[in-house]
Amino acid sequence: MPINPDAVGAESDPHEHSWTSKDALLYAVGVGAGLDELAFTTENSDGIQQRVLPTFAVIAGASGAGAVSKIGEFNWAMLVHGEQAIKLHGEIPVEGTARTVGRIAGIYDKGSGAVIVTESESVDAKTGDPLFSARSAVFIRGEGGWGGDRGPSAGNQAPDSKPDHVVTYSTREDQALTYRLSGDRNPLHSDPKFAKLAGFEKPILHGLCTYGFTGRALLHALCDSDPSRFKGMEARFSKPVYPGDTLTVSMWVDGDSALFRTETQRGEVVIDNGRVEFSA
């Protein structure tokens, strides 16, 4: 087996990633923000100060995923994103440079494949102040079966009760073409021929784009659109989304946290086991 289960604890080298006001604006448009969210989509509107969507942390700290290279050789075409969590130590600045170190936090044997969990910490490259941390899990098909630990079971089960908040957004047919400009140029999200080879009828939306749409809904419904009140979120990707789909985010609030899930107009749950923390 090419991957090394003993790579748990291995760290990536520190990597710096810089962003500008333009990068933050492009990300916001890529996850569906528009004319009614000018604080996130413009930098020069009269009386409005530009701010950054909290889920931009997945872009600014993306270099933490470099720790996956420490597990050995595998076919990257067999990798799918399974889970994503972010924790914010403060509001993300409109421009800056993050220094990020990632590490392998877990390698689990699911039989048909392996789950690789990475964690990363990002600090301000100039001051050393903490910016945000992230945790990501990927599933690599065909890499399991060595008899290892299967890993923890999923938590954050949404209740059967009526949600406290429901927000619905429509994605555009060309949504993935905008989102990919924030960094993920995988042709699975843009090339019809490549998507069909991967088993999809057409290109699918980036999981982290759906994550960003969901984060916007949580921000506006639970934090009164104030990024400084948004502390973190975690969720599992359960099914693909196609550009043009409608996304409905349901939330169940408990004090300064809430459980959530995201569904399409087909009734398919595409993000589940979600939990968000915020300043109530």
The residues annotated with a catalytic role in the active site are 184, 189, 204, 207
Compute how many other C-beta atoms are within 10 angstroms of the C-beta atom of residue 9: 10
Residue 89 burial (C-beta neighbours within 10 Å; 0-12, 13-18, 19+): middle
What is the C-alpha to C-alpha distance for residues 5 and 136, in angstroms, rounded to an integer? 17
Q: Per this entry, what is the length of the chain?
A: 280
With CA atoms as reference, report the closest residue to 131 among 26, 61, 219. Answer: 61
* Residues 6 or more apart whose Cβ sits within 8 Å of residue 238: 269, 270, 271, 272
Task: Using DSSP, state whether 275 is helix, strand or coil.
Answer: strand
